[in-house]
Amino acid sequence: MTRAALGTRQVVLGLTVFALVACGGAARSSAPSSPAAEGAPAPEEPAPTPPPKMSGTIRYFEVSPESLKADHAGLADGPALADGAPDVALALGLEGPADAIFVSSTDARGEPNGEQTADTIVGLEALPETVGGFALGKHTPTLAVLEGGRLLNTKDGALRPLPPGKHDLVVYLGKLDGRVPEGLRVAVRFTDGSVVKGPVAKLR
């Protein structure tokens, strides 16, 4: 092989190697980057754990010093909203994970008289048959529930489920036709579906 031919062959080999290296670099640069490199969003946080399904007890139910002094509830189903008239207020002590509260008017013997029930059941959700004699949440006004001065009702009026443990609540209900009933009896539904009836709070 002549010196000229040998030089030509070396040039061709050099160009071939250069082309292969260039193609490999291009292939590497065009490969898709990983999600982490593109700043992919972090995985969503898990939903809060719902309260365990269990029953509970009513520790006390009595007229609160706030009664007929504060206004947190009206006479309609839905959001817990003030209506410009002072409410009947009752102190309610619970132990356990409650998800609904009912307060019903009673006669002088402490039996429900069917005149008034306020609760945290709203819309088309059914009320327990043993409470107040009303069928659906839309038939009863919303009971405002506060703990430590903080409203526990959701924006539609339902009660945010309470976690296990002791709770010291104040519940507010509007006065039916401006009248104060003989007494009021409380019932509480816990997360296992059980409805526990409490004592009667005498109002007059």
Q: Where are the domains of the chain?
A: 57-202
The band of 45, judged by pLDDT with boundaries at 50, 70 and 90, is low
User: What does the pLDDT average to over 43-59?
Assistant: 77
For the entire predicted model, the pTM comes to: 0.74
What is the predicted pLDDT for the residue at 47? 60
User: For residue 198, is it left (φ>0), alpha (ψ between -120 and 50) or beta?
Assistant: beta
- pLDDT value at position 182? 84
- Print the SS3 string covering 81-127: CCCCCCCEEEEEEEECCEEEEEEEEECCCCCEEEEEEEECCCCCCEC
Tell me the pLDDT tens digit for each residue of 110-149.
888 888 899 999 999 999 987 877 999 999 999 999 999 9
Is residue 108 very low, low, confident or very high in pLDDT (cuts 50, 70, 90)?
Answer: confident
Q: Is the pLDDT of residue 200 over 60?
A: yes
